[in-house]
Amino acid sequence: MKTRKPLLVFDSGVGGLSVLREIRRLLPAAPVVYCADNGGFPYGTKTEAELGARVPALLGRLVERFDPQLVVIACNTASTISLAQVRAVLNVQVVGTVPAVKPAALISRTRVFGVLGTPATVRQAYVDNLVREFASDCLVLRHGSAELVAMAERKLRGLPTPLPEFRAVLDGLLSQPGGERLDTIVLACTHFPLVKEELMAVAPRPFQWVDSGEGIARRVAYLCQGVEWEGPPSGLAVFTRADEDVHFLTTALRSFGLDRIVTL
Ligand code: DGL
Would the CB of 155 count as within 6 Å of ligand 1?
Answer: no
pLDDT at residue 232 in the model: 82
For residues 157 and 191, membership in a common domain is answered with: yes
Ligand 1 atom closest to the Cα of residue 41 is 8
Would the CB of 212 count as within 6 Å of ligand 1?
Answer: no
Would the CB of 44 count as within 6 Å of ligand 1?
Answer: yes
For residues 35 and 69, membership in a common domain is answered with: yes
> What's the CATH code of the domain at 194?
3.40.50.1860
What percent helix, strand, coil does the chain show, rounded to 5? 45, 20, 35
Q: Please choose, from the candidates 222, 182, 177, the residue with its C-alpha nearest in 3D space to the C-alpha of residue 204.
A: 182
For residues 15 and 57, membership in a common domain is answered with: yes
Rounded Cα distance between 32 and 207, Å, is: 33
For residues 160 and 77, membership in a common domain is answered with: no
- Mean pLDDT computed over 193-203: 98
For residues 66 and 132, membership in a common domain is answered with: no
The gap between the terminal CA atoms of the chain, to the nearest Å, is: 29
For residues 157 and 113, membership in a common domain is answered with: yes
C-alpha 40 to ligand 1 mean position (Å)? 11
For residues 56 and 91, membership in a common domain is answered with: yes
pLDDT at residue 67 in the model: 97
Neighbours of 200 (CB within 10 A): 14
For residues 201 and 238, membership in a common domain is answered with: no
Rg (CA), the chain: 18
What backbone torsions phi and psi does residue 39 show, to the nearest 5 degrees? -70, -25
184-187/208-210 β-pairing: parallel
Would the CB of 79 count as within 6 Å of ligand 1?
Answer: no
Q: Please state the domain count of the chain.
A: 2
pLDDT at residue 231 in the model: 80
Query: pLDDT grade, residue 98 (50/70/90)?
Result: very high
For residues 117 and 205, membership in a common domain is answered with: yes
For residues 169 and 93, membership in a common domain is answered with: no
Is residue 260 within a helix (H) or strand (E), and if so which, with residue range?
strand 260-263
Rounded Cα distance between 231 and 165, Å, is: 44
- Mean pLDDT computed over 113-128: 97
Rounded Cα distance between 262 and 241, Å, is: 10
The parent domain of residue 163 ranges over 101-211
pLDDT at residue 158 in the model: 96
- Mean pLDDT computed over 11-40: 97
Residue 23, CB-side half-sphere exposure with 13 Å CA sphere: 32
Q: Catalytic residue, from 35, 75, 138, 224: name it.
A: 75
For residues 204 and 242, membership in a common domain is answered with: no
